[in-house]
Amino acid sequence: MALRKLLTLSRRPLLVSGRFASTAAVSALANPAADAPSLAKPPVMHYDRLAEAVRSKIKRLDDPDPRFLRYASPHPTLADHTPILAAPETRVTTLPNGLRISTESTLASRTATVGVWIDAGSRFETDETNGTAHFLEHMIFKGTESRTVRQLEEEIENMGGHLNAYTSREQTTYYAKVLDKDVPKALEILADILQNSCFDEKRIERERDVILREMEEVEGQTEEVIFDHLHATAFQYTPLGRTILGPAQNIKTITKEHLKNYISTHYTAPRMVISAAGAVKHEDIVDQVKKLFANLSNDPTTASQLVAKEPAIFTGSEVRIIDDDIPLAQFAVAFSGASWIDPDSIALMVMQSMLGSWNKNTGSGKHMGSELSQRIAINEIAESMMAFNTNYKDTGLFGVYAIAKPDCLDDLAYAIMSEISKLSYRVSEADVTRARNQLKSSLQLHIDGTSPVAEDIGRQILTYGRRIPVAELFARIDAVDASTVKRVANRFIFDQDVAIAAMGPIQGLPDYNWFRRHTYLLRY
């Protein structure tokens, strides 16, 4: 009776769970004993249906349709690289004067690469002589006491060989790629140019203009400029912050004495490695080197001792160059990284692979393994992105370099810092497994050929003191798991200072304090 009276007196429609009651619902209320089980069942709310939909999608990912698994699986498995681990032996011989000779013989090859890797670069210069190492790289091919420039070039051309050199911040390299029968001749030419170069004054004056033109070309390469500025601000007031080419004023004032003094000081036997790969025999290379490289300095001072006197100190700072004439903005954000011999350097290589790289001109992106690449590709907030990990003798740089339109900088910076900071908190084993597979494959693809193998041997002998076998390197990579990534990220990334270099229309790029705040996440 009470319910009927209530329905009679009320002129407003009855609401049940926020909706107008149906006739059945009113009947149920009028006679609760008739349909007791239906009243006990709670109503299905909208957010309950959303949660159920998400759970079903996750279930489909965890247990996909078996028809598609023969083509691809969403779950990465650790790749087995056992068949390719049987690499040729790397043999090393150290002469009494400290000169090291390292070779890797491939009998099936008909070509060979032989070169000299020197533990010297722009880092070992002063402010007054900055640029000498690169200048010397140019002058070393300009004739010796027994060969003119023409004779030197004709000998290489007649062999059908390739003679090249490059200078970095910590190393200088001279190498030649030739046929197997021309290896002794190539080694003799390398010994001649390194020990008997005559620096003609006219050649020096002519080479100044060449290097100044090269500097103008480098200034047009935006990536090179950004990384030079990044080093300059991250390692300010230290030798590692100087550029490789040096300032234009130094190029105009470098003399013959500077070049000779640099050779006598840094081109010493203990700081040099003769590396050869391909169709070579270790014993033959050792016998030739003993005869050809007899005039090298025996100064026992090592590059590590010089670095200890002037260590590279990372400074959290930034440099911004606003230029509205450039259509795209570019910036690099970096943390202090690991040295070559730091045990965590391998984990940083895996983390670099996890962040990945992406370019708008490529078709991939939205379905890549890197979550950072996915976010950038789906939201179209960048033209390109690249994670980098650079190692030096006592430090390193780890970060991300990106190019974007001016109105996307805010969103892009948020995506980059969010994904970098997330490495300290949430890392899945699937992402780490995928990154390890990619890293191991890229390392193997990088040393495909005699020149990359010789370069890998020379660099590792200088940095590690030995050639790390591929099996050992892969074992070190496989030892990196999600917990290792989080530990290393907490060491290098969590609440650490950053260095930023930016150029172009960068008014929309967040300030330094914003980047510094986003090196950690506030979790309650």
Query: Is 137 in the active site?
Result: yes
How far apart are alpha carbons 186 and 175 in whole angstroms? 9
Cα four-point dihedral sign 129, 130, 133, 135: negative
Window from 53-57, 276-280, 455-459 with minimum mean pLDDT: 53-57
Verify that 290 and 331 share a domain, yes or no.
no
Q: What is the pLDDT of residue 46?
A: 64
Task: State yes or no: pLDDT of 41 exceeds 60.
Answer: no
- Tell me the pLDDT of the chain averaged across its residues: 86
Give the orientation angle of helix 482-492 with respect to helix 429-446, to 10 degrees: 80
Cβ pair 106, 164 in contact under 8 A: no
Query: Is 462 domain-assigned?
Result: yes
CATH code of the domain covering residue 442:
3.30.830.10
Residue 98 identity (one-letter amino acid): G
Same domain, 368 and 483: yes
**pLDDT of the residue at 383:** 94
From residue 201, alpha-carbon distances to 128, 257, 468 in Å are: 20, 11, 44
Residues 139 and 265 in one domain: yes
CB atoms within 10 A of CB 314: 21
Give backbone dihedrals phi and psi of 134, rounded to 5 degrees, phi first: -70, -40
* Domain contains 270: yes
Average pLDDT rounded to a whole number, residues 56-60? 68
Give tens-digit pLDDT for 369-390. Answer: 889 998 998 888 999 999 999 9
**pLDDT at residue 55, as a whole number:** 73
Does position 523 have pLDDT exceeding 60, yes or no?
no
Q: What is the pLDDT of residue 89?
A: 87
Q: What's the average model confidence in pLDDT over 487-503?
A: 96
Residues 289 and 339 in one domain: no
Percentage of the chain exceeding pLDDT 70: 85
Would strands 357-359 and 329-336 be described as parallel, antiparallel, or unpaired? Answer: unpaired
In the predicted structure, residue 483 carries a pLDDT above the cut 50? yes
Res 67: pLDDT: 61
Neighbour order of strands in the sheet with 272-278? 90-94, 100-105, 272-278, 111-118, 172-179, 162-167
Helix (H) or strand (E) holding 92, with range, is strand 90-94
Phi/psi for 431 (5° steps) reads -65, -40
Per residue in 177-199, pLDDT tens?
Answer: 999 999 999 999 999 999 998 88
pLDDT at 68 over 90: no
Look at residue 135 in the predicted model and tell me its pLDDT: 93
331 shares a domain with 302? no
| C-alpha–C-alpha distance, residues 262 and 306, integer Å | 14
pLDDT at residue 32 above 70? no
pLDDT for 105-155, tens place per residue?
987 889 999 999 999 999 999 999 999 999 999 999 888 888 888 999 999
Which of residues 280, 307, 334 is at a domain's end? 307
Q: Tens digit of pLDDT for each residue in 397-456? A: 999 999 999 999 999 999 999 999 999 999 999 999 999 999 999 998 888 889 999 999
Q: Is residue 31 part of a domain?
A: no
Q: How many domains does the chain have?
A: 2
- Asked if residue 356 and residue 295 are part of one domain, the reply reads no
Per-residue pLDDT at 10 exceeds 90: no
Provide the residue type at 509 as one letter. Answer: L
The answer to whether residue 67 is domain-embedded is: no
User: 155 catalytic, yes or no?
Assistant: no
In the set 104, 125, 170, 207, the catalytic residue is 207
What is d(CA 314, CA 395) in angstroms, rounded to the nearest whole number? Answer: 8
User: 366 falls in which pLDDT band (50, 70, 90)?
Assistant: confident
Inside any domain, residue 166:
yes
Q: Which of 307, 333, 368 is the last residue in one of the domains?
A: 307
Grade residue 6 by pLDDT with cuts at 50, 70 and 90.
very low
Chosen domain end from 307, 341, 367 = 307
Tens digit of each residue's pLDDT (9 = 90 or more) over 77-111? 777 766 666 678 899 999 999 999 999 998 788 99
Statement to judge: residues 104 and 166 lie in one domain: yes
| Token pair of 322 as six digits | 């606003």
Kindly report, residue by residue over 279-338, the tens digit of the pLDDT. Answer: 999 999 999 999 999 888 888 888 999 998 999 999 999 999 999 999 999 999 999 999
Domain coverage including residue 351: 317-519
Residues 134 and 274 in one domain: yes
Q: Are residues 236 and 213 in the same domain?
A: yes
In Å, how far are 352, 392, 407, 493, 519 from 489, measured between CA atoms? Answer: 11, 19, 30, 5, 10
Q: How confident is residue 16, by pLDDT bands cut at 50, 70 and 90? A: very low
Mark whether 384 and 502 lie in a shared domain: yes
pLDDT score recorded for residue 23: 43
Q: Are residues 302 and 322 in the same domain?
A: no
Residue 470 lies in a domain: yes
pLDDT band per the 50, 70, 90 thresholds, residue 72: low
- Encoded tokens for 393: 């003798």
The catalytic position among 137, 170, 419, 455 is: 137
For residue 39, tell me if it sits in a domain. no
Are residue 271 and residue 340 in the same domain, yes or no?
A: no
Residue 464 inside a domain? The answer is: yes
**Which whole number is the average pLDDT over 254-283?**
93
